[in-house]
Every structure is written in structure tokens, then in C-alpha cells.
Chain A
Amino acid sequence: DAGVIQSPRHEVTEMGQEVTLRCKPISGHNSLFWYRQTMMRGLELLIYFNNNVPIDDSGMPEDRFSAKMPNASFSTLKIQPSEPRDSAVYFCASSLWQGEAFFGQGTRLTVV
């Protein structure tokens, strides 16, 4: 298996623009997680899904952030409108229910 695949690896966008980050989990995994990593706050869980259903989105910082999982093999994290303070590395991870989490390589987002 190719592991968790995230795209793009790097994204630079202007403040106010919409940004969409993509994630393909490991085939057969039924849990998916979005994390954000910043120098100031470290690694934070934003949202996670079980069987494509959002279970806990309490980590989503504000309404500008939204996440979807239309099927078992794809998820998106969208920021609209983006702001400079959203600059971070965003990780997607997947697992079997309650099993070990496998992480993607991350998307480095820079909002200028």
C-alpha cells in the first residue's frame, strides 16, 4: 500500500483565497483524522471521521474551516477565506477503528 497520500505537498496562497487540502487514506481504513502542526501550538487534532461520518470536530478552529469525507477513499479540508495565521503543516492520518494511526507526509500551507 502506498500509505496515506496528501496533496498538494506545498501550497502558497494569498489571504482571502479558498484553499482545499486533499487526503487519500489507506485502503480498508475506516477512521480518518486531520491534524495541524504549528510552532506555537504543536500538533492539534482538528476533526476525525469514522466510516465517513464526522465524529468530533471540536478542534476545528473556526467556521472558515470545513472538512468532508464523501467516500471511504477521499477527504478534503477546506479553508475559506484563508488567513496568514492558517499557515501550518496539515496532516491527514488514517486507521482501522481504534487501531494505530498512519500519517501522510503533510501539506505545508503558506498564506501570504
Chain B
Amino acid sequence: AQSVTQLGSHVSVSEGALVLLRCNYSSSVPPYLFWYVQYPNQGLQLLLKYTSAATLVKGINGFEAEFKKSETSFHLTKPSAHMSDAAEYFCAVSPTGTASKLTFGTGTRLQVTL
């Protein structure tokens, strides 16, 4: 079975600082990997996805993630945090060939301070 593990349920950064949210996956075959963002009282919005093409994936709002097979990781980064980035972020995995049957991690709540 496929799964993802998100390290750190809460991350706090200063505005302008680097954002790093960690995700490790477990899969016997190359998976598809995703990062979603959830703002308060909202649904989930896709930030970016890895579907076995380029290992460095750029998403919306300045976020990017790098697929590292040797480390089974798919960490999310943004060079400079903005107050509007405060939200909950979910890493997810799906079987190769589908981008919608998702297994989610437990989420990381990002706080951005002045």
C-alpha cells in the first residue's frame, strides 16, 4: 500500500524566510505525488504534482518540490514566505497513472509571522 508521512504537524516561519515542508513516501512502484493547500473553511487546492516527468516541479504561488527517489522524499519549498501562505498543506500519493485516487498525509500547518 502507498502512504506518505509528513514530518512536523506545525511549522512556523518569519515572513520572507524559507519555507520547507517535509514529505516522505512509501511505495513499491513509482508513484504520483502531490501537494495540496487548504485555507480555513475551504476545500483543497492543488499546488503542484509529480507524475514521473521532471523531478523538480514548480507549482502555483512560488512553491516548488523536488522528487528524490533515493531519499523517497518530495519536500515542498518556497524561497520567501508571505503572510498569505499561512494554511494547512497536505502531501498526497496516488497510484501511477491516476491523479485523483489520493492517499493523504496528516497535514502540516504553516504559520507565518512578522
Contacts and interface: CB of A to CB of B under 8 A. Distances in A.
B100 A43 contact: no
A106 B97 CA distance: 26
A71 interface: no
Interface residues on B, range: 10 to 19
B43 A101 contact: no
Kindly name the residue among A4, A44, A103 whose own CB sees the greatest number of chain B CB atoms within 10 A. Answer: A103
B104 A42 contact: yes
B100 A100 contact: yes
A48 B99 CA distance: 13
Contacts, number: 51
Interface residues on A, range: 20 to 34
B22 to A, nearest CB: 16
Interface string B20-60: 00000000000000000000011111100100000000000
Nearest to B97: A98
A100 B49 contact: yes
A94 to B, nearest CB: 8
B43 A98 contact: no
A99 interface: yes
B103 A104 contact: no
A4 B41 CA distance: 15
Contacts of B98: 98
Interface string A89-105: 00101010011111111
